[in-house]
Amino acid sequence: MDIVGNVLPQVLKDEATEDKGEMARLQSFVGAIAVADLVKTTLGPKGMDKILKPTGPGQEMTHITVTNDGATILKSMYVENPAAKILIEISKTQDEEVGDGTTTVAVLAGELLREGEKLIQKRIHPQHVIAGWRIARDVALKRLRDISSENDIKSQEFHNDLVKIARTTLSSKLITQDRDYFADLCVKAVLRLKGSSNLDYIQIIKLPGGTIRDSYLDDGFILKKQITIGCKRRIENAKILVANTAMDYDKIKIYGTKVKVNSMDKVAEIEAAEKEKMKNKVDKILKYQPTVFVNRQLIYNYPEQLLADSNITVIEHADFEGMERVAAATGAEILSTFDAPERRDQVLGHCDLIEEIMIGEEKMIKFTGCKKNEACTIVLRGSSIHILDEVDRSIHDVLCVLTTTVKNRRVVWGGGNSEMQMAAACEEEAKKVQGKQALAIEAYARALRQIPTIICDNGGYDSAELIQNFNVELQKGNLTSGLNMNDGTIGDMQELGVKECMRVKEQAVMAASEAAELIMRVDDIVKCAPRKRDRA
Amino acid sequence: MSLAFDDYGRPYIILRDQGQKKRMKGLEAYKSNILAAKAIANTLQSSLGPKGMDKMLVSPDGDVSVTNDGATIVEKMEIQHPTAKLLVELSQSQDAEIGDGTTGVVVLAGKLLEQALTLLDKGIHPLKISDGFDRACDVAIKHLEQIAEEIDIQANDHEALIQAACTALGSKVVSKRKRELGKIAVTAVLDVADLTRKDVNLDLIKIQTKTGGSVEDTRLISGILIDKDMSHPQMQKEVTDAKICLLTCPFEPPKPKTKHNINISNAEDYNKLYQQEQQYFIDMVKLVKNSGANIALCQWGFDDEANHLLLQNDLPAVRWVSGTDVELIAMATGARIIPRFQEITPEKLGKAGSIKEVQFGTSNERMLVIENCQCTKAVTILIRGGSQMIVDEAKRSIHDAICVIRNLIKDNRIVYGGGSAELACALQVLQYADEVSSVEQYAVRSFADALEGIPSCLADNCGLNPITSVAQAKSRQLSEKNPRIGIDCMDLGTTDMKEQRIYETLSSKKQQIQLATQVVKMILKIDDVIAPDDY
């Protein structure tokens, strides 16, 4: 019923709901802040991990995940609040775009909205808040770009930068104890790519057993497959033929074919023909004179035996990814037809040594001295699969950050330095701006400053005091100061060697502002009736 | 009355199952309809204008979208009330016809219905009301045409077009970059426009979205971007002076549509069939190669063997290209779509300057860019943004801007925004009202009030006092004889919309008023609603 007493007709579908104005805004603030608060404790070197437990029946659902990675946590959460969904979405995008800072982006957006809520309570129109945020964002990004520095890609300094960035990224992860070791390992792996950003060439193999310290980077390339029984286990100077072809029975691809025979003799004939066809195929392959044959698909016993008889080492069932990697590393062409043996020099891949090795309990095939020396493998060891999964995610984060840095090359000081500087820039700007927007700019600065504050809080330090001291240091002109999270003081980041990738921060600030603005602009939430699922 | 008695006193049923149906008649039906329609208009009202707010919509599957676009909001609202649905269609027809002003049209209809409600309370017959609205609408349209100005779209580096695009983008979440995006939209439209025929084929502008980066990173690619990569990982990633063979048949042995069986009864047949199959692949690749093509784009999949043969013959190929992309590529490169391998001839190939693979972000997503196409200049706008919701909203906004620019190229007459055109029409209608001697006079006057509702709604959304600002603007329009005085939404210190350069197309404004009036007339003619009870 409306105010006058007219009975309002039902406009929307039965279970659909509509919330307007304050109610709608309240909902989005609550949702977004709840999500930010949830992941906030994982931020920084002293951040804590979360256990994710899937719900639902069945054995397969009992696999739990222990992680510190914001994107992983948020991705696995089931939320109904639409604003919370937006935060999860930006975290995912951050993961895809730069690979790290996934927690930061959600927390920053949440803090912005927390500040925004206060402004709304002071009866400031959301559009004014947004106008202020836009100014603040541009100022912050400008400052971020100004304070970043760049080193030549070939120089030793740049190499040092990469190691420092890797260390900083790793410091918030499970393997923080061994971060020097892993930082070195990751930098070496990324530098092998020679500027390309294709992470496909870096393979990560996880094997439970041993300790984290037993992990290592292998120059060569490791394929998690076995050499077929009866073949040589060690091939020097190998010529590799990579194929994607059916080696079981070659089915006829012409549509609607059927075999119909009227006597047993005919069956035998056709069987022979089939066998002959396979033999022909093998003969054709042999014309290429390879010493190793890698196929994506299964190889049946008969062709396998034929190949083994000709002294060729056979690797079957290498799946798409493995096949493409082998091809890329050894410079082979992936073949599906075998009618042009004269091109053998072009199509065969080459590597110095192929051997079967044992890592832990498992047999694997190692290719060393490949033609294109870009591919490499990181073998991760650890006491349980949960640890390995988390290490894998951490290493992936580091690799992403490093490749982003190689592309962008700009670095900033870590330890909350960039956030504090951006906040300072916003505050300076706020003094110059006329109108209500200035309040929003100040709010933006406060939200930025929340990031180092939360890092302090997570470490159990007195954040109020530390942040104030930090601010004073910056005002004094010590532009490289930052949080020293080891002993809870303000330190010089240059001495501590804490660096971060500028692009990651930039993307986080941009995405968080965009999301906060998007949520701020909403004054009406319409929820459709949930789709009914038929219970089977 | 669903039950009647015949001459012998036997009951018979006139309307079946009357008890199970909901029925509303007369004034009750009018009011119910109007209230339902108004509920929709009320929801949209706060989205109007540069300071309008957005709506968050949650789909039945829980997907979230945030938008400011009227047509999208009502489409996703799952409205079930029959009269309210008329407003949904109203918004959609504005979207289909003009592409912009989808919020305005619904708000105007809502205001008109509000006026109709008071008139009904006064006891005026609905048909008289709709007659009055009709007359007033004619007067308003005529006046719009009088105050419209022709602008030179070419002048000053197409400044007028950019301004119009900015007006359309001003109310959206992307408004902080409206000028950059406006320029992108204008360049895109001008690239594909046929200025002599004053026509724009919007199919030639492809809008591709990709999350990541920020809205600023949105750019115009003078070519076609397709979200596919080469069929074989080792094919060359770049082709210059491409001669494109556009196929809609798979690289597989043919599958006749008639049901058939091939029976093999001896080994000889078996071998023959195998050889024939091999020959198929060789022939197919040969036919493509011989035509001189150096890249093949195919709507369907490839067999492994064919795929390798293509690689071996240095013929890069792309599979599973979507149907719309195939058509776009055909238009842009002048390629003929070839449905059979036998029909490939050199004349049917399309030409493009270059085709290359580009990569984004850390995940392995690659896209193909086709540049410098031979025929028309097809363009792609690649939209970036922090999340899927932003990207989607940016896409809708740019679509609106493109539509506005197209309308201006078709018809370069504009009116000024900020509610000024509506106010001018309202004044004209009000003047006309006094000349009407019958009951319709009241309806005509109410029409003017409804028109005033738009500027007052704008002012309300911007945090201004709606009554004072509308009154001020009205009196200034009258005293200065200047139809360009409107509401100063952006707080720029002037109410002359010509100075603020808020341009709207005449066609869009006209369409808004006409469509809204039509729908209101239709709603006013309904005096009986019969619906199943559980509806």
Nearest-neighbour CA in chain B from A267: distance (Å): 8
Contact A514 B68 (CB under 8 A): no
In the prediction, which pLDDT does A447 show? 93
Beta strands in B90-204 (DSSP E): 149-150, 193-194, 199-200
Contact B263 A521 (CB under 8 A): no
Looking at residue B386, the DSSP 8-state letter turns out to be S
Mutation site for A-interface testing, chosen from B22, B30, B32, B58 by largest number of A Cβ within 10 Å = B58
In the prediction, which pLDDT does B231 show? 79
Residue A342: its H or E element: none
**Class of residue A280 by CB neighbours under 10 A (exposed 0-12, middle 13-18, buried 19+):** middle
Give the C-alpha separation, A177 to B106, whole Å: 62
Give the C-alpha separation, A19 to A26, whole Å: 10
Give the C-alpha separation, B370 to B241, whole Å: 11
Give the C-alpha separation, A94 to A110, whole Å: 15
Contact A259 B270 (CB under 8 A): yes
Read off the tokens for A341.
Answer: 């043996």
Contact B43 A518 (CB under 8 A): no
Q: Of B95, B100, B131, B400, which is the active-site residue?
A: B400
Any residues with CB less than 8 A from the CB of A399 and at least 6 apart, and which? A99, A186, A189, A190, A199, A202
Read off the tokens for A339.
Answer: 């009618």
Q: Which of A96, A126, A518 sits opposite B211 (nearest CB)?
A: A96
Q: Is the distance from CB of A201 to CB of A325 less than 8 angstroms?
A: yes
Helix (H, G, I), strand (E, B) or coil at B242: strand
Residue owning tokens 């789709």? A531
In the prediction, which pLDDT does A11 show? 76
Q: Is the distance from CB of A354 to CB of A330 less than 8 angstroms?
A: no
Q: Is the pLDDT assigned to residue A441 strictly greater than 90?
A: yes
Give the C-alpha separation, B325 to B309, whole Å: 25
Question: How many CB atoms are closer than 10 A to CB B57?
Answer: 23
- Opening angle at CA B88, ends B85 and B94, nearest 5: 145
Strand partners, B505: B414
Give the C-alpha separation, A46 to A330, whole Å: 43
Q: Of A102, A104, A405, A453, which is the active-site residue?
A: A102
Question: Is A524 among the residues known to form the active site?
Answer: no
The backbone torsions φ and ψ at residue A450, rounded to the nearest 5 degrees and listed phi first, read -65, -30
Q: Is the distance from CB of B100 to CB of B509 less than 8 angstroms?
A: no
Q: Is the distance from CB of B247 to CB of B296 less than 8 angstroms?
A: yes
Strand partners, A501: A411
Contact B43 A20 (CB under 8 A): yes
Residuewise pLDDT in 10s, chain B (535 residues)? 566 788 888 877 776 666 666 777 777 888 888 888 888 888 888 888 888 888 888 888 888 888 988 888 888 888 888 888 888 888 888 888 888 888 889 999 999 999 998 998 888 888 899 999 999 999 999 999 998 888 877 777 788 888 888 888 888 888 878 888 889 999 888 888 887 888 888 888 888 888 877 788 888 888 888 888 887 777 777 888 888 888 888 777 777 677 777 777 777 777 787 788 778 878 888 888 888 888 888 888 887 777 778 887 888 888 888 888 888 888 888 888 888 888 888 888 888 888 888 776 555 567 888 888 777 778 889 888 878 888 888 999 999 899 988 888 888 888 888 888 999 999 999 999 888 888 888 999 999 999 999 999 988 888 888 899 889 888 888 888 888 888 887 777 788 888 888 888 898 999 999 999 999 999 888 888 777 665 4
Residues of chain B contacting A13 with CB distance shorter than 8 Å: 78-80
Question: How many CB atoms are closer than 10 A to CB B339?
Answer: 11
Query: Over chain A, what is the mean pLDDT?
Result: 82
Looking at residue B57, the DSSP 8-state letter turns out to be E
Any residues with CB less than 8 A from the CB of B258 and at least 6 apart, and which? none
CA B352, chain centre distance (Å): 29
Provide the Cα torsion A231, A236, A239, A245; round to 10°. Answer: 30
Report which of A459, A499, A536, A531 is spatially closest to residue A161, judged by C-alpha positions.
A499
Give the C-alpha separation, A187 to A386, whole Å: 24
- What ipTM does the predicted assembly reach? 0.78
Q: Is the distance from CB of A350 to CB of A257 less than 8 angstroms?
A: no
Mean pLDDT in residue range A256-260:
71
Question: Is A93 among the residues known to form the active site?
Answer: no
In the prediction, which pLDDT does B516 show? 92
Alpha helices (H) along A41-101: 70-76, 82-97
Contact B270 A328 (CB under 8 A): no
Give the C-alpha separation, A263 to B45, whole Å: 82
Any residues with CB less than 8 A from the CB of A337 and at least 6 apart, and which? A245, B281, B305, B308, B309, B312
Read off the tokens for B30.
Answer: 């009018």
Give the C-alpha separation, A61 to A75, whole Å: 16
Question: pLDDT for A103-136, tens place per residue?
Answer: 899 999 999 999 999 999 988 888 889 989 999 9
Question: pLDDT for A317-346, tens place per residue?
Answer: 777 777 777 777 777 777 777 777 777 777
Alpha helices (H) along A155-300: 156-170, 179-192, 264-287
Question: Is A397 among the residues known to form the active site?
Answer: yes
Contact A24 B56 (CB under 8 A): yes
Q: Which of A273, A336, A526 sits opposite B77 (nearest CB)?
A: A526
In the prediction, which pLDDT does A445 show? 93
Contact B304 A245 (CB under 8 A): yes
Question: pLDDT for B127-150, tens place per residue?
Answer: 899 999 999 999 999 999 998 888
Amino acid at position A210, single letter? G
Residue B155: HSE in the Cβ half-sphere, 13 Å Cα cutoff:
6
Question: Is B102 among the residues known to form the active site?
Answer: yes
CA dist list (Å): B346 to B241, B333, B375, B421: 14, 14, 16, 56
Q: Is the pLDDT assigned to residue A1 strictly greater than 50?
A: no
Residue A240: its H or E element: strand A234-243
In the prediction, which pLDDT does B132 show? 92
**Class of residue A276 by CB neighbours under 10 A (exposed 0-12, middle 13-18, buried 19+):** middle
Q: Of B67, B72, B83, B102, which is the active-site residue?
A: B102
Q: Which chain A residue has its CA at the smallest distance from B51's CA?
A: A127
Mutation site for B-interface testing, chosen from A295, A337, A339, A348 by largest number of B Cβ within 10 Å = A337
Q: Is the distance from CB of A417 to CB of A481 less than 8 angstroms?
A: yes
Question: pLDDT for A458-505, tens place per residue?
Answer: 888 888 888 999 989 888 888 888 888 888 888 888 888 888 888 889
Looking at residue A60, the DSSP 8-state letter turns out to be G
Strand partners, B209: B383
In the prediction, which pLDDT does A207 show? 83
Q: How far apart are the first and last CA of chain A?
A: 40
Mutation site for B-interface testing, chosen from A80, A257, A345, A506 by largest number of B Cβ within 10 Å = A257
Give the C-alpha separation, A487 to B155, whole Å: 66
Give the C-alpha separation, A110 to A509, whole Å: 12
Helix (H, G, I), strand (E, B) or coil at A509: helix
